[in-house]
Amino acid sequence: MNEKIVIIGNGIAGSTLALQLAKEGTGSVTLISDESSYFFSRTALMYVYMGHLTKEQLEPLSRESWDQSPIQRVKARVLSINPENKELSFRNNEGEVKQLSYDRLVIATGSKPAFYDWNGQEAEGILGLYHLSDLEKLEKWAPNASACPEAVVIGGGLIGIELCEMLLSRQIKTTLIIRENFFWSSHLPESDAQLVEKHIQSHHLNLIKEDELLEIRADDTGRVASIQTKKGETISCNLVGLTTGVRPNIEFLKTSRLELDKGILVDEYLKTSDPSIYAIGDCAQLRNPLSNRSAIEPVWYTSKLMGETLAQTFSGQPTPYNPGIWYNSAKFFDLEYQTYGRVHPKALQPENEQHFHWETDEKGMTFAYDKTSGAFLGVNTFGIRLNHRIVSSWIETAITIQEVIRRLEEAHFDPEFSNRYYKQINHAFVQNH
């Protein structure tokens, strides 16, 4: 018998799972998406607006290979699911509502931008940066600096800074407003945040800290004209980017009786409260998060790993989700950032976690280690690339910070001929300890 596996969402989680299942010949796979017919890299949307890539180049797998694969792709919007009958209903491109039955259902619907009911947020010229359609909106509202001289972006996370970089690439005067007293303070220690702030300001981004959006004002045509902040500042603008985070995209499940919290609750096998239904990616919330990890981790790498893990389970090898050592990366304009393990910002820093920060001329690293044992906990690195496998193994085996600093050059991953800062770092560390 051929099990009917239906996956809702063709992002990195859903597509990874579908491709893996097709490769192993497990079940007959249907992949549903209402956003795009072909899997694309959401994290690279910015490069299309900036002109580095074409839309089609965002697609990691050629259209030809999708068309040849046994995966059945359906472009449709899922309206609701009915676990009792193992059935879901969807609206297809032609607007017809249809039913589809499944043996196993996987929900991989990702996130959506979190808007917080600001006054005036229905005006024209307001967007998040998440969907393919947001690119079209940007091209319509902010094609160039003469059509859109000024823009305001609210919220200082990774998406917010990307949107700023995009707008500035077309010479649009851009202001970024963040609530906190330094950039991305939910994730970065202050020293790192300052390094990033210095860099983004050198790119002529106007950064306003410790202020919040109060309301958005439109002109007579209904188009955004200005915003007002809580501190009473009025900033004229033709576009407002709302990048105050994302939340799981699960509204369509409200009637399903699946156990939900912020996301869809899943066990370590990524199974929901219904034994035939699984959830992976941004929309999944682990009932028992692993130590030092969050219950919801809306990032590319964990979504990919969840897809791979579930594929193993479906192919007859039940595998618990085990993401290993945390890692992530980003690029703030021209400043590359990688993180391995945990380097907590001040507000979340456990008492035993000590930091050693080193920086020079737009490059820097912050190492976290245990105050008593000296065990290495993690590192943030800016402008210097480190080897993922090596640094992870150091964290896993909990070698001491002294040893990490001494052996740091082993994790060298910068291009050939790049300056090497390991002696400097070693020197600074020895002087401080």
Partner 1 sequence: MHSYRTTSIQKVFTYMGLSGLAVLILAGFTASFLKSTGLFIGLGLISIGVIGYTFSSYSGLPAGIKNNGVWHQSLTSRGIVAWVVGVILTAFYVTLYFYPEHLEGLIRLFDPLSEGLSGKKASQWFVYGVLYTLAIVLFGIKFIIKYKHSKYQKYRTYSVIFFQTIFAFLIPEIMARLNGDLPYYDLKSIWPLNYYLFDGYQLDGFLQNGSLGTILLIFGILSTLIITPILTYKFGKRWYCSWVCGCGGLAETAGDPFRQLSDKSLRAWKLERWMIHLILAWVFISTVGVVYSYLLQAPDSYLLGPKIFLISVSLLFSLVVGLILWKRKDWLAKDAQSSAIAISSVILLLLGFFFFSESDRVLFIPSYQIRSAYGFFIGSIFSGVIGTGFYPILGNRVWCRFGCPMAAILGIQQKLFSKFQISTNGGQCISCGNCSAYCEMGIDVRAYAQREEPIKRASCVGCGICSAVCPRGVLRLES
- Least Å distance between CB 103 and partner 1? 29
Angle, helices 300-314 vs 12-24, to 10°: value is: 30
When asked if residue 58 is in the footprint of partner 1 (CB under 8 A), the reply is yes
Minimum CB distance to partner 1 smaller for 29 or for 330: 330
117, two tokens: 């009911």
Beta strand pairing call for 376-382 and 363-370 = antiparallel
Binding flag, residue 12, partner 1 (CB under 8 A)? yes
Task: Decide: is 203 part of the binding site for partner 1 (CB under 8 A).
Answer: yes
Give residues 378-417 in contact with partner 1 (rule: CB under 8 A): 385, 387-389, 392, 413-417
DSSP assignment string, 227-249: EEETTS-EEE-SEEEE-S-EEE-
With H, G, I as helix, E, B as strand and everything else as coil, classify residue 314.
helix
Give SS3 for 17.
Answer: helix
Task: Decide: is 143 part of the binding site for partner 1 (CB under 8 A).
Answer: yes
Stretch that binds partner 1, among 58-66, 93-101, 205-213, 279-287 (CB under 8 A): 58-66
Helix then strand count (H, E) for the chain reads: 10, 24
**Token pair for 366:** 């912050």
In the complex, the smallest distance separating the C-beta of residue 419 from partner 1, rounded to whole angstroms, is 8
Under the criterion CB under 8 A, does residue 115 sit at the interface with partner 1?
Answer: no
Question: Per CB under 8 A, does 28 bind partner 1?
Answer: no
Instruction: Answer left, alpha or beta for residue 284, where phi above 0 means left and psi between -120 and 50 means alpha.
Output: beta
Q: How far apart are CA 177 and CA 183, in angstroms?
A: 10
- Interacting positions 329-358 with partner 1 (CB under 8 A): 329-331, 333-334, 336, 338
Question: What tokens were used for 273?
Answer: 């409260």
Distances (CA, A) of 225 to 219, 228, 328, 370: 5, 10, 37, 51
Out of 23, 24, 57, 70, the only residue in the binding site for partner 1 (CB under 8 A) is 57
CB 192 within 8 A of CB 355: no
What's the min distance (Å) between Cβ of 204 and partner 1? Answer: 10
Instruction: Report, in Å, the least distance between residue 368 CB and partner 1.
Output: 19
Q: Is 173 in the site for partner 1 (CB under 8 A)?
A: no
Question: How far is Cα 147 from Cα 308, in angstroms, rounded to an integer?
Answer: 44
Note whether 304 binds partner 1 by CB under 8 A.
yes
Residue 390 Cβ vs partner 1, minimum distance, rounded to whole Å: 9
In the complex, which residues of this chain contact partner 1 (CB under 8 A)? 12, 41, 43-44, 47, 50-54, 57-60, 62, 64, 143-146, 169-171, 202-203, 300-301, 304-305, 327, 329-331, 333-334, 336, 338, 385, 387-389, 392, 413-419
